[in-house]
Amino acid sequence: MSRFGNLGVALRASVLATCLAIPATATADNILFARVGSSSYVADGQNLANFLTNAGHTVTYVDLSAAIITDFSSYSQVWVYDLVTGADNSATQQANYQNIAAWYNARTDKNLIADGRIISSAGTSWGNEPAWIQNYAAQLSGAGGGLVLGTDHDVYQDGINTINALIGINPFSGFYFQAPLEATVDPLSPLYVASLPACSSNPAQQCINDASSTGFVPTGLQPNGQYLTPVAYHGTVSSAFNNAAVSTTFGSPTFPVPEPTTLLLLGMGLAAGGWHRRRTPR
């Protein structure tokens, strides 16, 4: 028996069966597609929103720097798109970050997708990026809704990382811009799309576009107790947790989730570490 134990194996099998049972064409949802600001890459965000509309979803495309959104009752999915440089922390933006986080934290279904290269999917000239983005929405729809956080490399991450902190996940980070400009997709992930192109570095694998100088997404056990599994990554499976371009709360047998007891102990360690930092005299 592996170190994960019978309980861990059963849990992973149950989670995987649930995830893979979600249909690729789930019911249409009301989606709030919220860009952090309006100073850059607005059209690319609109392209992404259009992919969702084309899949049958009702999409409201808003600017988080323009007005405070207080009513989330009609939305089953919220997408946050941060392709604006700088702090992006005006009073209006801060209020919206707080409201988005409150919406997510109050949900029973805390499904999450983190994409550190989302603008790479905005074009249609490489692979089948529309289907990739549409499958995000389909999987969230089948699982009861949830949150998509999308950005790029570190100069764009400040605004969206405010939301990360408010919901208790680690920040986006870093700058990756190395050839080949593509990220290998885990074929056992629920976010996998069979129509993606072959990777140039390994034609036996499939990749998504990564030509936008990606950032790295949070992976593994998070401060809020959730576990984020790599979906698309650079390098090998063994290094995926350090080099993930996309991660999600949807599990995959490629990256086994530790058994509940291990997660509990890790969570207690995180909590104790945070308490110690707060108590340490300055």
282/279 Cα distance (integer angstroms): 9
Q: Which position has the token pair 């495309």?
A: 61
Mean pLDDT split into 10-residue runs, the chain, 282 residues = 34 40 63 96 97 98 97 97 94 98 97 97 92 98 97 97 98 93 97 96 94 94 98 95 97 86 55 46 37
Give CA torsion, residues 40, 37, 110, 240, to 10 deg: 30
What CA–CA distance (Å, rounded) separates 26 from 91?
A: 36
Burial label, 85 (beta-carbon count in 10 A; 0-12, 13-18, 19+)? middle
Quick one: the chain helix, strand, coil %, rounded to 5? 35, 20, 45
Q: Which two tokens stand for residue 220?
A: 């593994």
Q: How far apart are CA 6 and CA 57, in angstroms?
A: 40
**Residue 264, pLDDT score:** 55
Q: Tell me, what's the pLDDT at 140? A: 98
> Nearest to residue 27, comparing CAs of 59, 57, 51?
57
Residue 53 confidence (pLDDT): 98
For the chain, where are the alpha helices, taking DSSP H only?
5-20, 42-54, 91-105, 129-142, 158-167, 260-279
Predicted pLDDT of residue 224: 97
